[in-house]
Amino acid sequence: MSSIKRRFAESIGDYLNRFRSLKARCFTQVPKHELVQMAVGGLDYSIRKKIDQTFVKSMSQLADRVRHLERLRDLVQKAIQEGRLKFAGRRMKIDADPLHQEEALFVEPVEINMVEITEYDEAGMLEQTGENPDIDIAEVYPRADEDLVDFLYRCKNKEMRNAG
């Protein structure tokens, strides 16, 4: 029930009716105040942050409060668009588009490092280096009383002695 979210174009009445019908299918008894908290959790963030859940005791109160907030939001947005309401300093952002993403989420590339890739003939490379890929590699294990650092140091010294 707590994962039910209000759809973008869904009215508050439709959302609460859908919430109530899903609650009717649920066999667990949930207190009213917890149902209200779950329903509030599915609202848009812009509405949810304005509702004080301590004063909302029932679903009908929640519906009335959300309708009032949506009406107020629409009136403020209409007044701004008509130029009747202006704010000093900076423009107020109204949550009209919930899918709007801020430009700060996108980064323009300033510098791109390109790497040149060339294909090599593996057989020719092996002939030039004199290496044979079919050489059996000896398995090396640490001793029972040896810790990892000592084991790696011993392997490195053995390689240096064999190379030199």
Domain ranges of the chain: 12-82
Number of helices and strands in the chain (H, E): 6, 0
DSSP state, 94?
Answer: P
Q: Please check the confidence at residue 70 and state whether its pLDDT lies above 60.
A: yes
Q: Please check the confidence at residue 45 and state whether its pLDDT lies above 60.
A: no
Say if residues 57 and 78 touch (Cβ distance below 8 Å): no
Q: How much is the mean pLDDT over the chain?
A: 70
pLDDT for the residue numbered 109:
65
How sure is the predictor about 26, in pLDDT bands with cuts at 50, 70 and 90? low
Say if residues 29 and 21 touch (Cβ distance below 8 Å): no
Query: In the Cβ-directed half-sphere of 14, how many Cα atoms lie within 13 Å?
Result: 7
For residue 66, the tally of other CB atoms under 10 A from its CB is 25
Share of residues in the chain with pLDDT > 90 (%): 0
Say if residues 26 and 1 touch (Cβ distance below 8 Å): yes
Residue with tokens 């490195």: 156
pLDDT for the residue numbered 52:
59
Please report, to the nearest 10 degrees, the dihedral formed by the alpha carbons of residues 33, 35, 36, 38 taken in order: 130
Ranges 11-20, 45-54, 125-134, most confident: 11-20
Q: How far apart are CA 160 and CA 154, in angstroms?
A: 10
pLDDT for the residue numbered 74:
84
> Which tokens in the block code for residue 149?
């650092």
Ranges 62-66, 82-86, 97-101, most confident: 82-86
Region of 4 on the Ramachandran plot (φ > 0 left; ψ -120 to 50 alpha; else beta): beta
DSSP state, 86?
Answer: -
pTM: 0.32
pLDDT for the residue numbered 16:
76
Say if residues 35 and 62 touch (Cβ distance below 8 Å): no
How sure is the predictor about 82, in pLDDT bands with cuts at 50, 70 and 90? confident
Q: What is the pLDDT of residues 106-158, one digit of tens each?
A: 566 667 777 777 777 776 776 777 666 666 667 778 888 888 888 888 888 88
pLDDT for the residue numbered 53:
58
